[in-house]
A and B are shown apart, each in its own frame.
Chain A
Amino acid sequence: MIKYVDEFRRHDLAQLLSSAIKKESDPQRQYNLMEFCGGHTHAIFRYGVQDLMPENVKFVHGPGCPVCVLPIGRIDNAIQLTQNNNVILCTYGDLMRVPASGRKSLLKVKAEGADVRMVYSTQDALKIARENPNKEVVFFAIGFETTTPPTAVAIKQAKKEGLKNFSVFCNHVLTPAAIQNILESPEVREMSSVVIDGFFGPSHVSSIIGSQPYEFFAEEFQKPVVIAGFEPLDVMQSALMLIRQINDGRHEVENEYTRVVSREGNQKAQALVAEVMELRRNFEWRGLGMVPYSALQIKQSYAEFDAEKRFAVPQIHASDIKGCECPRILRGVKKPTDCKLFGTVCTPENPMGSCMVSSEGACAAYWSYGRFRQMKSKPVEITPIEKKGTAECQ
């Protein structure tokens, strides 16, 4: 029995929550609850949480996948780095299969002889740097706020140890900026169907940044936010809390994941990140284009650990494969089945875009789980969220 895991997956408690949700949801209305954390999507599918919900409560899958939003150009950059015989590129497993330009991927160039190593932690990358003093070790850093502090720690440690051959290719991105940009995007207004009634806040991003950053969000969009833990019972309890807020007409930030998340978050981690990294003015996101103040770069004081400075990494504006609808699917404007490549040329074995490669990508999720559920419920489309007050341009 794994503590703090198994208790939060109990079948009997699931039944209790299921009855409560059925009892408290108003049969006269629809509840569309959006989760943008890949981990929540995963939990919902893996445990079949949808089956325990009444018909009028639906989960809408949002774009919380750092792999999906990483622009192809950045993977091209990483691949370019591997072509240098002296470079060992360290990466998390999630990135290995993502297709970049010219149908290449890190897995493919590894097969062709490039030294690409999958690591579980930045600590592993530091170890590789220490063990290979004659090679340049580059860590391909991705992820939202949960994964950023580990990168910051590694950079600080590298400086302390005086490692001369370690650098980071930094692609860390920020959650609130992403969510806001997506929901405000003009294209989203093209759709005219159902409205999103509430949001599940990401579990572990929130453990770092705290619940406070979402308060602005709930206020602006007048929608309830419940920060939800990772386990299926957490998701159900959070759904219940959202339903209650919706019924009451409230739009507050509530925290279901109190065992880990506080209002201020992990200040030690936040301080470490602030010491090593700073905001980029702009960063290109796959599918969203340029988003201001949405990503991080390494500060000048740690420039020697910045792979972009060490290797003169050019900016590559690569485009998705012709026909690939990942950008629109990411924003929820199109469904996987709207993409001509889906299921024909683009399959999990032969992915064309990131939505199919990442296991939380909309297309990958739809491929198996979606097809399976086809008969059980109709897919839900999202509409633009109206901001309180006047509309503002970016």
Chain B
Amino acid sequence: MCLALPAKIIAIDETTDMATVALGEVKKEVSIALVEDVKINDFVLIHVGYALNKISPEEAERTLQLFAEAGLTE
């Protein structure tokens, strides 16, 4: 129910708990108060100006694999 987008962290400000993220070429400031251990180049899910969760690149890859394999089962 919630419009959330994956965005890449390109800068972090520890003092304000904020980060700059990039969605394609668009940049935005978001709060990272809800996530832990984020680093530059991590991808996070953003919603209403906050990063909600980190996105796991391994799981993303695995999911895409599942899609590709779908037609090959049985």
Chain A positions within 8 Å of B, measured between CB atoms, are: 1-5, 7-8, 10, 13, 16-17, 19-20, 23-24, 36-39, 64-66, 92, 120-124, 143-144, 146-147, 149-150, 153, 157, 202-205, 207-208, 229-230, 233-234, 236-237, 240, 256, 258-261, 266, 268-269, 272, 360
Contact B52 A204 (CB under 8 A): yes
Q: List 8 A-B contacts (CB under 8 A).
A: A8-B63, A37-B1, A123-B50, A147-B47, A149-B52, A237-B70, A240-B70, A259-B56
Contact A258 B70 (CB under 8 A): no
* Shortest distance between the CB of B18 and any CB in chain A (Å): 8
* B5 contacts the other chain (CB 8 A): yes
Residues of A close to B48: CB separation below 8 A = 92, 120-122, 147, 150
With A143-B2, A258-B56 given, can you name 15 additional A-B contacts, CB distance below 8 Å? A2-B23, A3-B6, A4-B6, A7-B60, A13-B70, A17-B67, A65-B1, A146-B52, A147-B48, A150-B34, A150-B48, A230-B4, A258-B59, A259-B57, A268-B36
Contact B34 A268 (CB under 8 A): yes
Residues of B close to A230: CB separation below 8 A = 4
Residues of B close to A123: CB separation below 8 A = 31, 49-50
* B35 contacts the other chain (CB 8 A): yes
Chain B positions within 8 Å of A, measured between CB atoms, are: 1-6, 8, 23-24, 30-31, 33-36, 43, 45, 47-50, 52-53, 55-57, 59-60, 62-64, 66-68, 70-71, 73-74
User: Nearest B residue to A65 by beta-carbon distance?
Assistant: B1
B55's contact among A13, A204, A237, A259, by CB below 8 Å, is which? Answer: A259
Contact A269 B2 (CB under 8 A): no
Contact B50 A150 (CB under 8 A): yes
A92 to B53, CA, bound (A): 21
Contact A266 B24 (CB under 8 A): no
The 6 A-B residue pairs with the shortest CB-CB distance in the complex, in nearest-first order: A121-B49, A4-B6, A146-B2, A20-B70, A16-B71, A259-B59
User: Nearest A residue to B43 by beta-carbon distance?
Assistant: A4
* Shortest distance between the CB of B65 and any CB in chain A (Å): 10
User: Nearest B residue to A39 by beta-carbon distance?
Assistant: B1
User: Nearest B residue to A157 by beta-carbon distance?
Assistant: B33
Contact A23 B74 (CB under 8 A): yes
Report if A149-B2 is in contact (Cβ < 8 Å); known contacts: A258-B62, A269-B52.
no
Residues of A close to B59: CB separation below 8 A = 258-259
* Shortest distance between the CB of B2 and any CB in chain A (Å): 4
Residues of B close to A38: CB separation below 8 A = 1
A5's contact among B6, B31, B63, B74, by CB below 8 Å, is which? Answer: B6
A149 to B31, CA, bound (A): 11
Contact B66 A237 (CB under 8 A): yes
B50's contact among A4, A121, A233, by CB below 8 Å, is which? Answer: A121
* Shortest distance between the CB of A147 and any CB in chain B (Å): 6
Contact A13 B52 (CB under 8 A): no
* Shortest distance between the CB of A121 and any CB in chain B (Å): 3
* Shortest distance between the CB of A379 and any CB in chain B (Å): 22
A146 to B5, CA, bound (A): 13
A1's contact among B24, B35, B52, by CB below 8 Å, is which? Answer: B24
A208 to B2, CA, bound (A): 12
Contact B34 A269 (CB under 8 A): yes
Report if A259-B60 is in contact (Cβ < 8 Å); known contacts: A66-B1, A207-B52.
yes
Contact A13 B1 (CB under 8 A): no
B68's contact among A16, A19, A36, A143, by CB below 8 Å, is which? Answer: A16
User: Nearest A residue to B4 by beta-carbon distance?
Assistant: A204
Residues of A close to B67: CB separation below 8 A = 10, 13, 16-17, 233, 236-237
Residues of A close to B4: CB separation below 8 A = 146, 203-204, 207, 230
Contact B45 A17 (CB under 8 A): no
* Shortest distance between the CB of A207 and any CB in chain B (Å): 5
Residues of A close to B24: CB separation below 8 A = 1-2
User: Nearest B residue to A37 by beta-carbon distance?
Assistant: B1
Contact B50 A259 (CB under 8 A): no
Report if A39-B52 is in contact (Cβ < 8 Å); known contacts: A20-B71, A23-B74.
no
B63's contact among A65, A202, A259, by CB below 8 Å, is which? Answer: A259
* Shortest distance between the CB of B34 and any CB in chain A (Å): 5
A4 to B53, CA, bound (A): 14
Contact B2 A144 (CB under 8 A): yes
Residues of A close to B55: CB separation below 8 A = 4, 259-260
